[in-house]
Amino acid sequence: MSNLTVSPSRLERGIAAILLAALVIGCLLVLRPFVAAILWGAILVYATWPVFAWVQIRLRIGRSAAALIMILAAFLIMVAPLALVVSDFADDVRDLLRNLRVVMSMSLPDPPAWVVQLPMVGPRIDEQWRKMSLEEQELQTLAAPYLEALGRWGWGKGVNIGIGLAQGTLELVLALFVAFFFYRDGARLAGRVEGGLMRLAGQRGQRLLHVAGNTVQSVVYGIVGTALVQAALMLVGLTIAGVPNAMLLAFLTGITSPLPIGPPIFWLGAAIWLYATAGLGWCLFMLAWGAGLVSMADNVVRPLLISRGGTTPIVLTLLGILGGVFAFGFLGLFLGPTLLALGYSLLQEWTSPEPAAPDGRSARGQS
């Protein structure tokens, strides 16, 4: 008789477990297209929660009104510039290709006087330089088919990039939509998460939550903040120098900011274009602006913005950028490094020895 009473209970528990697993899988399948937007919305809200609280207290308004103000501010800072880039992207690509053809078709200047004075190799370089100038028309004729193929390839890639940027804009808008509800109901949700971690891991769970918060804020401030500063500085420098497609180049500088060689590619390219079209003076200006301000911001602004949390190895940042793009698309540029940095910090905290209690026993041993 005892077996007959136990068996139905086990059967019921098994059926309940199967149904629960099916429910979880179903929910994950429904939310799968929106995972990137939900994660980025949650990370953005957590990183800017002190600002949200300040707005609510300062203006003496409710959570919904403060959340709306935060979303509008985030829209103006992140979505509006991206939307402008997307709207003008086709014209920008066309202008870039036309400028490339202009640079390639320009006549090669005579070699500087100091070239021939170089010991041993100077006369030879001077001779070859002048020979290339005389044969320039022939070289352009030979290069014309390759330039045409390069133009078609660049246009095709430009269209694909434009479509990706449009999708990224929609994902960012969706992330801000989700962020509104996180702002409004974040306090209650945070209390439940903290309570769940306390049940699972005790005091260590609270420390893990603290480490996770500091890491998220550090990475978001460091990556997004530095990207915005470098993009703004690049836009100002390009505008002063009169470089075309300034908005597009500044945007590309911002999204490649986490990469050490990202911004230099664009200000060096702008300097080369200025040397070919406007002379040495503007070229030197762009070099000084790029090296002294745009790239230096990575060494100055990032440490100032990252005030808390441990440093993440550069290899994890690079893998986070590349893997994040493959996994989440445009939002993965910032979501990937954030998730890897969060995992790295939590792993460090989890594997570190627990602090000893006053009587010499660990906190886990006491509990």
User: What pLDDT, on a 0 to 100 scale, did the predictor assign at position 338?
Assistant: 80
Q: What is the pLDDT of residues 70-119, one digit of tens each?
A: 999 888 887 777 777 666 665 666 666 666 656 555 555 667 777 677 77
User: What pLDDT, on a 0 to 100 scale, did the predictor assign at position 69?
Assistant: 92
- For residue 270, pLDDT beyond 70: yes
Q: What's the chain's average pLDDT?
A: 74
Following DSSP, what letter does each residue of 108-119 receive, concatenated? PPPPPTTTTTST
User: What pLDDT, on a 0 to 100 scale, did the predictor assign at position 228?
Assistant: 84
User: What pLDDT, on a 0 to 100 scale, did the predictor assign at position 307?
Assistant: 52
Mean pLDDT, residues 282-293: 88
- For residue 149, pLDDT beyond 80: no
Mean pLDDT, residues 151-168: 62
Amino acid identity, position 115: V
User: What pLDDT, on a 0 to 100 scale, did the predictor assign at position 46?
Assistant: 82
User: What pLDDT, on a 0 to 100 scale, did the predictor assign at position 367?
Assistant: 39
Q: What is the pLDDT of residues 10-42, one digit of tens each?
A: 777 778 888 888 888 888 888 888 888 888 888
Following DSSP, what letter does each residue of 125-157 receive, concatenated? HHHHHHHHHHTHHHHHHHHHHHHHHHHHHHHHH
Which of these ranges, 207-211, 216-220, 250-254, has the smallest mean pLDDT? 207-211
Maximum pairwise Cα distance, the chain: 108
What residues have CB less than 8 Å from 307, skipping those under 6 apart? 218, 221
- For residue 137, pLDDT beyond 50: yes
- Number of Cβ within 10 Å of residue 25's Cβ equals 10
User: What pLDDT, on a 0 to 100 scale, did the predictor assign at position 364?
Assistant: 46
User: Is pLDDT larger for residue 160 or for residue 215?
Assistant: 215
Nearest to 336 by CA among 322, 351, 352: 322
User: What pLDDT, on a 0 to 100 scale, did the predictor assign at position 299?
Assistant: 76
User: What pLDDT, on a 0 to 100 scale, did the predictor assign at position 91?
Assistant: 62
